[in-house]
Amino acid sequence: MKEISMHILDITMNSIKADATLVEIKIEDSIKNNWLKITVTDNGRGMSEEVIERVTNPFFTTRTTRKVGLGLPMLKEACERCGGYLKIESELGKGTKVFCCFERDNIDRAPLGNVGETIMTIINSGNNVELIYIHKTDEGEFVFDTKEVKKILEGMDINDMNVLLWIKEYINENIKNLVNNQ
Amino acid sequence: MNCIEFAEKLHLTPLCEKDGEIEIEGVYIGDLLSIVMSKAKKNYAWITIQTHINIVAVAELLELACIIVVENMEVDDDTLLKAKELKIPVFKTSESAYQMACRIYELGIK
């Protein structure tokens, strides 16, 4: 995928399909340590050991509409190409954690992409999902939590297009400030 | 033109040619799998530098005619094993994607 945010969207959609009600997306972007780490944690159905072992195989999928599943295999390949790795931890009935990292300055690493738009898309597609987004750099961190936003909205629908567009801009602006301070 | 004739005319090295009878109806060049998935079409030959097993999954999903690995990239063993199992022809060449494209154009595939 041409941007890492597309992988984040793909993983989070897996969480939503697994009936997660809470998803935490954490990005750790460190120039000092030369890494870009992404962790997506959910409280969905979880996976058995057997399924965990098979999800990075492109010829394994839980879908019935097609015979290949390329989301996690493509992410794994992208990480490994950039000196990183992908790790999945999961427990049935408790949830799943997908962790991946990239060498930050690797020339083949895709850009992070439009995270604000990704978060907006996730909120818009998963009605009952609460989302926590944490963006951490060497200089500080930014946290976005849909529960907090809903409190501020005082009953207004978070899926209202104007709210979603504000969320997108708010997230992108905060990430930009964090990155510019590095 | 089928895959076998196509490979012979382009002097490609066959790594796996289980189903060489497929007629090639077009060509796509690309290394970003998500873009290839949205652009390449059934019975297209796909030119890439990628060698990971994921390329076989993309070829299977799109029902591509064959995969041509350029720049003499070493193809992973599990990629070839899976390609053989699924009867997806895989060829290799030392030429670049651009050189391949020029020669394919000269063959009349446009």
**Do the Cβ atoms of B54 and A77 come within 8 Å?**
yes
pLDDT band at A66 (very low <50, low <70, confident <90, very high): low
| pLDDT tens column, B47-59 | 999 999 999 999 9
A60: containing domain: 4-180
What average pLDDT does this structure show over B61-86? Answer: 95
Residue-level pLDDT at A167:
96
- Contact check, Cβ <8 Å, A59/B32: no
Q: A74-101 burial, b for 16+ CB within 10 Å, e for fewer?
A: bbbbbbebbbbebebebeeeebbebbbb
**Minimal C-alpha gap between A126 and chain B (Å):** 23
Residues in chain A: 182
Which residue on chain B is closest to A59 by alpha carbon? B57
pLDDT > 90? residue B110: no
- Is B54 close to A74, i.e. CB distance below 8 A? yes
Q: Measured between alpha carbons, how far is residue A113 from residues A29, A30, A68, A173 in Å?
A: 13, 16, 26, 13
Q: What is the mean pLDDT of residues A120-136?
A: 91
Statement: residue A33 has pLDDT above 70 = yes
What is the pLDDT, as a whole number, of residue A31? 95
pTM assigned to the model: 0.85
- Asked if the model's pLDDT at residue A5 lies above 70, the reply is yes
List, for residues A47-65, the tens digit of each pLDDT value. 999 999 888 888 887 766 6
**B47 φ, ψ (degrees, to nearest 5):** -100, 125
CATH number at residue A83: 3.30.565
- Rounded CA gap, B31 and A1, in Å? 10
Chain A residues with CB under 8 Å of B52 CB are 77
- Give the residue on A whose Cα is nearest the Cα of B55: A58
| pLDDT (tens digit per residue) in B7-16 | 999 999 999 8
pLDDT exceeds 80 at position A68: no
Of the two residues A61 and A6, the one the predictor is more confident about is A6
Give chain A's domain count: 1
Provide the pLDDT confidence category of residue B17 given band limits of 50, 70 and 90.
confident
Rounded to an integer, the average pLDDT of A83-99 is 96
Beta strand A140-145 pairing with A130-137:
antiparallel
